[in-house]
Structure 1
């Protein structure tokens, strides 16, 4: 459910951005329309960076589910690590599905591959 909530928010944020790109394309005689190729990934990256990289360490969908991402060294998540976490999640799921789930069954903290590589874990939020 968490993923679906976040996916819907990214989709809603894409609508005004697409309108801006359309106007930019008209002003640049079509050159600006090339931004459509990176529009959704750019919005998703910014969304993850600003939400998971915030002091709450969770996207709105994750907060709704009562989970957050924590670093194993105890430091707070920063936007760069949050973006890297999201990108590695998508890359590992795309390349290794469903084998990426096997890693979660074998690790002590039930971490997936991207969590192991980054030193993070998804935990229940205590709040």
Structure 2
């Protein structure tokens, strides 16, 4: 997949809009840590409730944990990344947002697939996934390329898209 500005003229370019990518990898790392803490708390709460209910349901609640825990994690990503804010809680705290690059909407299913590909790529070979982002101009990781997404800083992005829409109006 080519990421030239000629192919996607509305895609932000680090040369012309560096403020969108300043400190992006550091922000992504801290957002990841915040999200892992939130997911850990979510898993612990569901596990404790399941453990207590397991005694009253003769173990059926313990069996349901096999489905409830992954569904809770999937729901977290689908509700946060699939929302109009297009960011998890950690991403919102770090002022970053997930943006589709292929012209398709970022809905709940795409958010879930993005998270799934992220976790699989991290699980398979996390050093390569992280190093990949150091050598791409837009600081995209492997899962961003696969899913056709781009992570940018939110507040400068809003100003960038406003400038782009104004330029499009004057070019008409």
TM range (shorter): 0.7 to 0.9
1:72 aligns with 2:101: yes
Distance 1:125 1:96 in 2: 28
Residue 18 of structure 1 is aligned with which of 47, 60, 82?
Answer: 47
2:153 corresponds to which residue?
124
1:93 corresponds to which residue?
122
- Residue correspondences, number: 127
Secondary structure of residue in 2 paired with 1:88: helix
Distance 1:26 1:7 in 2: 29
Q: Give the direction of change, closer, same or farther, for the CA distance of 1:101–1:8 in structure 2 (3 Å limit).
A: closer
With normalisation by structure 1, the TM-score equals 0.84
2:140 corresponds to which residue?
111
Contact 1:14 1:39 in 2 (8 A): no
Distance 1:75 1:66 in 2: 22
Structure 2, unmatched stretches of 5+, are 1-29, 159-172
| Structure 1 residue 117: Cα displacement | 0.7
| Structure 1 residue 43: Cα displacement | 1.9
Contact 2:97 2:154 in 1 (8 A): yes
With normalisation by structure 2, the TM-score equals 0.64
- Provide Cα deviations, 1:65-121, integer angstroms capped at 9, x if missing partner: 010100003444211111111111111011122111232234342211111011001
1:51 aligns with 2:73: no
Cα-Cα RMSD: 2.1
